[in-house]
Structure 1
Amino acid sequence: MWWAFFAAIVASSTALYIAMVVYPSQKEVDRKFELRRERRKEYRRFFYLTSSVRLSFERFSFQDGAEPFEAFEELLRARESFEVALLGLSLLGEKEVVDEAMTGHGLVSEMIDEAERTLEQIKLEVSRHVPAKEVARRIRAGFRPYRSRYLSFQTGLVKTMRSSEIDDDLELSVDVPGGKPLG
């Protein structure tokens, strides 16, 4: 008879332990995994938009001079999407990733300013009857440094994002009850 009483105490103590210690710890681990998943989703979205900006910029800088204004409009739309994604990234991203993204934002702003100056130059050169091929050559030459800087930004962004993910793994392994790493 005493063993039934003892078994009931062990069972209720175990349930209490699970409810008070294990469950909150597991909820915290689940919350961190969910945050990490959302962060990865935002990182992926942001990186895709950085590529969209790069491609729009290249279409503008490598076009043949026939439709630079349409290409510029596309570049402005890509920048707008980039800025919206940057807001989402600033909510979920690690500080280092957001800092890297802000560097890219500054570079995109420089690129847009240069594109606006180039459009003015195109108008002037077209009025002087400069051949379209010469205008296109000048545009490409003017944008070459931006292309390499932007590719460097994208490479740095990916490295920072990956580094952030590695740090998350270490942080999660420390917070598990009993100090045992996950996996």
Structure 2
Amino acid sequence: MASVEVMTACENVCRDFSWLGKFSDWGPALLASSVALIIAFYAYPWQKERDRKLQIQLEQRGVYRDLIFPLHDVRFALEKLGSFSDFADLQKRISSVFERLNAGERQFLASTVLIDPKIANEFQRYFSEARSVMSDIGNELQQLRETQDSLVPEPPVKDVKGVFKEVLDCRIKKLDAATEGVINRIRESAYGLQGEIRLQSRKNRKPEQ
């Protein structure tokens, strides 16, 4: 009688949980649902944040490339100071340098909402150095004018240009150093590149064959 009762109890248990069926029937579906929930709550937000950061990095790199062009424009205008014909022409060329410098600073300011702080600091150092270079050139030019006015007869423009050219070359080297700082900071911070770039002065470049 006890054996019959035991068998009956087992049958009752099996009957109560018969809705489970075989694990092979419902196990894979349960596993797939669990994975889907994990992706929905964890993996998808992580991937979305990763995509957002990647998009920002791509936009930043585009901004950095665009900010390099004003630096070239300032450098090019600065070089042209050495080929002035007279002091009036030199004053126009100096104004051109300041126009390009101001345009570069405006573009940089508009980009500060996106760029990396370390790179922004390097750009600020560049513009500070560029302003200092132009101040030095203005002071040297003023001294040249005073010297020229005190001489009788007035020295030819070519003699003044020779002195001014030495001053200009020295200041261009200072600006090149500041430009190198910007470029190398971008290479390191935005691209993870090692090694430093050195700008070659135009007068030191080998002529093309």
User: Do they superpose with TM above 0.5?
Assistant: yes
SS of residue matched to 1:92: coil
User: Is this contact kept in 2: 1:56–1:75, CA < 8 A?
Assistant: yes
The answer to whether the aligner puts 1:159 opposite 2:184 as a matched pair is yes
Q: For 1:102-137, what per-residue CA distance to the aligned partner results, in whole angstroms no more than 9, with x for missing partners?
A: 211111111222344455456654796331212221
Q: For 1:76-127, what per-residue CA distance to the aligned partner results, in whole angstroms no more than 9, with x for missing partners?
A: 1111122123214433333322222121111111122234445545665479
**AA in 2 matched with 1:51:** H
Match of 1:46 among 67, 73, 82: 67
Stretch deviating more after TM superposition (12-21 or 112-121): 112-121
Q: CA deviation at 1:166?
A: 4.7
1:78 maps to: 100
Match of 1:6 among 24, 27, 38: 27
User: Is this contact kept in 2: 1:59–1:71, CA < 8 A?
Assistant: yes
User: Is this contact kept in 1: 2:119–2:186, CA < 8 A?
Assistant: yes
Give ranges in structure 2 of 5+ residues lacking alignment. Answer: 1-20, 194-209
Q: CA RMSD in A?
A: 2.6
For the pair shown, the structure with the greater C-alpha radius of gyration is 2
Stretch deviating more after TM superposition (9-18 or 22-31): 9-18
* TM-score, scaled to structure 2: 0.68
The answer to whether the aligner puts 1:133 opposite 2:158 as a matched pair is yes
% identical aligned pairs: 22
Query: Could you say which structure has the higher helix fraction?
Result: 1
SS of residue matched to 2:178: helix
* TM-score, scaled to structure 1: 0.77
Stretch deviating more after TM superposition (148-157 or 116-125): 116-125
Aligned residues: 167
Give ranges in structure 1 of 5+ residues lacking alignment. Answer: 169-183
1:68 maps to: 90
Match of 1:98 among 95, 107, 120: 120
